[in-house]
């Protein structure tokens, strides 16, 4: 019983001390991720038309993803959804959709509709 209380106090202290670090860390990690995504898009040639994807393809995918999420929320209001984003770039030339793999830093064809 006493050990449990001590452990809880210790965890609480850890959380209070570390919490202010979580947000900046998340921001930094997200910044690194975005840089990798953009750098990869600047090098990747669309498998449909051969054009470089570029930054515009990421913006197109951001807009499309936001639209899909709004649509989903409208269909199921108030429901908590667990969604993993799988659309990261859309070719501005031919409209082919891609998913980004951060580990390999490359794009693969987006399959699910
Ligand atoms: Zn294309």
**How far does residue 52's CA lie from ligand 1's centre (Å)?**
8
- 44 with 107: CB under 8 angstroms? yes
59: tokens are 């913006």
**How far does residue 34's CA lie from ligand 1's centre (Å)?**
21
**How far does residue 36's CA lie from ligand 1's centre (Å)?**
20
**How far does residue 91's CA lie from ligand 1's centre (Å)?**
5
Q: Is the pLDDT of residue 113 over 60?
A: no
Q: Is the pLDDT of residue 2 over 80?
A: no
Q: Is the pLDDT of residue 53 over 80?
A: yes
**How far does residue 23's CA lie from ligand 1's centre (Å)?**
36
DSSP reduced 3-state for 101 = strand
**How far does residue 61's CA lie from ligand 1's centre (Å)?**
13
Q: Is the pLDDT of residue 111 over 90?
A: no
Give the Cα separation of 110 and 61 in Å (integer): 11
Mean pLDDT of the chain: 91
**How far does residue 73's CA lie from ligand 1's centre (Å)?**
30
DSSP conformation letters of 5-67:
HHHHHHHHHHHHHHHHHHHHHHHHHHHHHHHHHHHHHHHPBPTTT--B-HHHHHHHHHHHHHH
- pLDDT tens digits, residue range 97-107? 999 999 999 99
- 90 with 66: CB under 8 angstroms? no
- 85 with 65: CB under 8 angstroms? yes
């Amino acid at each position: 019983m006493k050990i449990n209380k001590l452990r809880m106090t210790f965890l609480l202290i850890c959380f209070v001390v570390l919490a202010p670090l979580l947000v900046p860390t998340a921001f930094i990690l997200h910044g690194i991720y975005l840089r990798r995504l953009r750098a990869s898009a600047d090098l990747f040639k669309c498998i449909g038309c051969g054009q470089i994807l570029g930054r515009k393809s990421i913006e197109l995918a951001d807009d499309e993803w936001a639209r899909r999420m709004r649509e989903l929320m409208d269909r199921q209001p108030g429901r908590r959804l667990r969604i993993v984003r799988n659309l990261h770039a859309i070719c501005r030339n031919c409209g082919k959709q891609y998913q980004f793999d951060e580990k390999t830093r490359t794009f693969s064809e987006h399959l699910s509709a």
